Each structure stands twice: as C-alpha cells, then as structure tokens.
Amino acid sequence: DSAVTRPRIDKSALAYGEPPRITDQAWRRSARDRACDVCRINDQTIVLAHFRRAGCGIGIKPHDAEGLFLCGRCHAEWDTSPDREGWLIDNYVVPQMHRRYRGWKAAQS
C-alpha cells in the first residue's frame, strides 16, 4: 500500500492566501514564568490565549505572537465573552493606558 502524494495547492492566488503562522513552543512555555496580562496574578494556570480574527477558525490559530498570557479565570471570560473586542479593550487596553499615564505622572513629580 503506497501513499498517494498530492501536489501542494498554491494558496497565494486566493483572496486571503495562507497566512504565515509562527509557532514557538518556548514562547508558550514561558507562560509559567509570567503573571496574567489582565488581572496580574501569577499562578499555575497562565497560558497563551490566541486572538481569533478573520481567517482564523476552529483548528486554525493565529501566530503565537498574537495573544495574551492569561490565567484560567481570565481565559474563561475571554473564551465566553460575546463581545471579545469589548472585553479586550475594557480588561487589557484601558488598564494598560491607565498604567502608562500613572507612570508618566509619577515621573513628572
């Protein structure tokens, strides 16, 4: 029984093409040494949570560089949020902006 080898399909002609994918196991494993990007706790549940966007679906994840390190609680909230973009803005982007402002303000005094 010999395996049939099929030619690879050139997806560059497709409307979206085949997005490049970075998979970095060392980056994923580094989650163990980090605090949650949202709630800042540091426990054994920290994992890399990927952002799903156009062209991504079940079984098709984006780059490993496109994610946050989240604890189990924040990851569950992220996965079940009906408005992921709003969740991301409220729980990550706005707090980052506030931290940046507080750091700048402290440097002014």
Tokens representing residue 63 in the block = 């780059």
6 pLDDT tier (thresholds 50, 70, 90): confident
Question: What is the rounded average pLDDT for all residues in the chain?
Answer: 84
CB 39 within 8 A of CB 73: yes
- For the chain, report the end-to-end CA distance as a whole number of angstroms: 77
Give the pLDDT band of residue 9 (cuts 50, 70, 90).
Answer: low
Q: Name the strand (E) or helix (H) holding 51.
A: none
**What is the pTM assigned to this prediction?**
0.69
Average pLDDT of the segment spanning 5-11: 70
Tens of pLDDT, residue by residue over 76-93, are: 999 899 998 899 999 999
